Structure 1
Amino acid sequence: MNTLASTATDAAHVPNARDAVRALRPSQIREVANAGFGNPDVLPFWFGESDRPTLQFIRDAAREALSAGDTFYTHNLGIAPLRTAIACHVSALHGSTDANEIAVTSAGVNALMLASQLVVGAGDRVVALTPLWPNIVEIPKILGAQVDTVSLEYGPAGWQLDLDRLLDALTPDTRLLIVNSPNNPTGWVMRRDEQEAVLQHCRRHGIWVIADEVYERLYYGDEGTNGCAPSFLDIASRDERVICVNSFSKAYLMTGWRLGWIVAPRALMDDLAKLVEYNTSCAPAFVQHAGIVALNSGESMTQALVQDLRVSRDHLVQALQQLPGVDVMAPPGAMYLFFSMPGATTSLALCKTLVREAGLGLAPGSAFGPEGEGFIRWCYACDIERIDKGVARLRGFLDGHRRKEGIA
């Protein structure tokens, strides 16, 4: 057989994923973390999770369910007691919500995928507010959608939304708007008046809204209700084009449990159940029982967590503000500082260097889209002693590079 012909034939049969999948961005957070995994000398602040394990009473609930043999399939939308518990929780925070408007999911990110699958198809136009956790931007692309971004702007008041710019981007041909508030990575929180303007505009043009509100309880501002960030659920009726996504991961220290929920119009639930069936079938029963206990008995834990996070945030802001060239402000929500520093214009390279030279694990701003380049993310969901060690390593790194450059 002709060699050139053979090569062409082989190339035509190379087993490749479809183009939309091959074009997805790999996670730069993972790329940096992989450079430090297995090294006990690296202080990791790169992932969005607390250094505390899930509290014992929640773990006990899962163990008891396992011991009772609760290891079988459940209803696609979740066991009735958990859906009821979530509905009561949401009602207390955001107004009357029925269990028939709740779907239990296998993690918050699974909820985002399911919500997107409900309303987005190939060729649809999606608008997302950035910088943003990359999973949220990439999910619609998996479905063949076009994702356009509107960036928050950083200035003397921290990260802010240009509302007019967002509304201009929400043209009548837009299928979906995705809003993450409180925001990962910036900690920005959408104000109530901004939500009202956006919702009114989306109603006018028939645009769906997916609100990722997994950080709603990690909120340090005055606006909102019951210690909760302003939510689209506060102002939207339950039968309109608004889907809210939430998770047990952050407020209940359950990142590894992979349990979340969706609040959506009741008219979507039959179709949502089909999507759950064809994605995961159901969340594990014993994990769902742990979720019930977290909701019913975990409020004091969540309130204490938020207070601890506020202290850690303020401590880290004050410490970083003492470092030359660092520009940082305290955000009103989430558990991250998104700040600029010398070298952050190539943030991925800088974060790899920090791992290698300083034993410090941070997340590059470019991981959250090109709008995040020039910034670094630091997760402060840890104790003060660990934060101080990290700041000391960053100070040493900056001092060393200043000496190399001959800067006094």
Structure 2
Amino acid sequence: MKIKEFKLERLFARYSSKAKYRLSQSACEYCTMQEILDMADEECKKMWDDLVLGYTDPIGFAPLQEAIAERFVTIRPSDILTLVPEEGIFIFMNTLLDPGDEVIVMQPCLPSLYEIPRALGCKIIKWPLQETNWGWNLDFNFLAENISPKTKLLVLNIPNNPTGFMPVKTEMDRILNLADRMGTWVFCEETYRGMEHDPASALPSLSDMYPRATTIGGLNKFGLPGTRIGWLVTKNKNIFEDCAAYRDYTTLCDNAPGEILATIAMRNATDLLQRNHKIVLENLGIAEKFFKKHKKILSWIQPNGGCTAFPRLMRPFDVTEMCEKAINERELLIIGERAFGLNSNNFRVGLGRRDFKEALDVFSEIVEEMEKKIS
């Protein structure tokens, strides 16, 4: 299978060593290994002290699966396959899809969610999020008109990265009812579930809501993306077994230290999530004031979940030129819309890190220079 360059990750790879400041990170504040080990209960301390650096169970580490299952309502540990999150997307798409299959994909989203089906020879129908006066929204008439019995898979990313969009419960029910009527499988990348800005708007996992759903999650929102541990969740045993078998060709099993660190984190998930949620909400308030101050050239579209936002640079300014200027002149890394396959003049803002204000101060210098050109 030949696949297009993963533009989003290539930008990070190309410019990370040059960037002193980063405005567009999607991961939350990182934890040190010592911080995680200090949270360990006696069982986890013993597992860490007795750690052997051999192969691990290809199906997963039982204590970790049990801890992950606590984040769901109806999911059992045996419904959880632990793996690298991006690996889970790759494996699922390769096991479910065939050339010619029709796939509807929420847009924008993580590029692999549409590039992998495209590389597999599928017909891609992009379901675009729309910018409105009250935030991002989905056109449900578009879905109703385009989904059909030919639609093999509906791909969602909720909370959405990069926009921060989240549907309300009635909207999600409508989506799943349409999928159910057509016999469509649903795949949801829900890494940032639990990071709703208003806790009252939280949705259950789609794995709990829909029998033909498969979901992907991971440790980004907990501050441990470097463990490269995530999970694929499905109640469908055929999908589970097919994904587990396909993994023999990728990583085979999890890394042994990561399994234990992830177990400690998931047993302390509530505390880690509260820490990072607080950082996101504080940065959200800072961002709202900043973009209101510079509303002549920046349009702020309110996110309601996750730890990213996707504001727009007003014309005649070009976001790609702005991003290039930022990295070359200010050592500030900003990810523009082309990384997500768009031409909309938007750019991603990451709200999950303690150094957000520092990066925003550097960005302010660039914005003020542009404002002088129109004053």
TM-score (norm 1): 0.83
Residue 32 of structure 1 and its aligned partner are, at CA, apart by: 6.4
Say if 2:369 is the partner of 1:387: no
Q: How does 1:119-268 map to 2 (within 5 A)?
A: 119-224=96-201, 228-236=202-210, 240-250=211-221, 252-268=222-238
Alignment match, 1:305:
276
Aligned counterparts of 1:277 and 1:127: Cα–Cα separation in 2: 28
State the identity %: 22
Q: Is the 8 A contact 2:195 2:306 kept in 1?
A: yes
Structure 1, gaps ≥5 residues long: 1-17
**For residue 349 of structure 2, what is the aligned residue in structure 1?**
378
Report the counterpart of residue 49 of structure 1 in structure 2: 27
Measure the CA separation in 2 of the matches of 1:301 and 1:54: 12
2:206 is matched by which residue type in structure 1? F
Letter in 1 for 2:301: M
Structure 1 residue 116 and structure 2 residue 93: aligned? yes
Kept in 1, the 8 Å contact 2:265–2:272? The answer is no
2:265 to 277, 294, 316: 294
Deviations 1:73-109 (A, max 9, x none): 222220222222222332xxxx22212211111x211
Which residue in the other structure is 2:369 paired with? 400
Change (3 A) 1:28 1:118: closer
Contact 2:310 2:347 in 1 (8 A): yes
Rounded Cα–Cα distance in structure 2 between residues aligned with 1:86 and 1:401: 47
Mapped to 2, the partners of 1:273 and 1:142 lie a distance apart of 21
User: How far apart, in 2, do the equivalents of 1:328 and 1:344 lie?
Assistant: 17
**Closer, same or farther in 2 for the Cα pair 1:169/1:69, shift >3 Å?**
same
Distance 1:131 1:194 in 2: 18
The whole-number CA distance in structure 2 between the counterparts of 1:253 and 1:202 is 33
Paired residues of 2:188 and 2:206 also in contact (CA < 8 A): yes
Letter of the 2:23 counterpart: F
* SS in structure 1 at match of 2:310: strand
Moved >4 Å (runs of 4+) = 59-67
Q: Helix, strand or coil: the match of 2:152?
A: strand
Q: CA deviation at 1:130?
A: 0.5
Change (3 A) 1:29 1:104: closer
**2:85–2:217 CA contact under 8 A, matched in 1:** yes
How far off its partner does 1:66 sit? 6.0
**Which letter does structure 1 place at the counterpart of 2:130?**
E
Change in Cα spacing, 1:377 to 1:137, as seen in structure 2 (3 Å) is same
Q: What is the CA-CA distance between 1:161 and the residue it aligns to?
A: 0.8
1:338 corresponding residue in structure 2: 310
Distance 2:298 2:103 in 1: 34
Name the CA shift for 1:358/1:69 in 2 (closer, same or farther; >3 Å).
closer
SS in 2 for 1:262: strand
Q: Which ranges in structure 2 are unaligned for 5 or more consecutive residues?
A: none
C-alpha distance in 2 between matches for 1:301 and 1:229: 19
Letter in 2 for 1:261: W
TM-score, normalised to structure 2's length?
A: 0.90
Q: Structure 1 counterpart of 2:209, which letter?
A: I
Q: Secondary structure at the match of 1:150?
A: strand
Contact 1:33–1:46 (CA<8 Å) still a contact in 2? no
Q: CA 1:152 to 1:271, structure 2 compared with 1: closer, same or farther past 3 Å?
A: same
| AA at the equivalent of 1:396 | E
- Distance in 2, matches of 1:52 and 1:374, equals 29
SS of equivalent residue, structure 1 residue 49: coil
Q: 2:340 — aligned with what?
A: 368
Larger Rg: 1
Q: Tell me the number of residue pairs that the alignment of Structure 1 and Structure 2 aligns.
A: 369
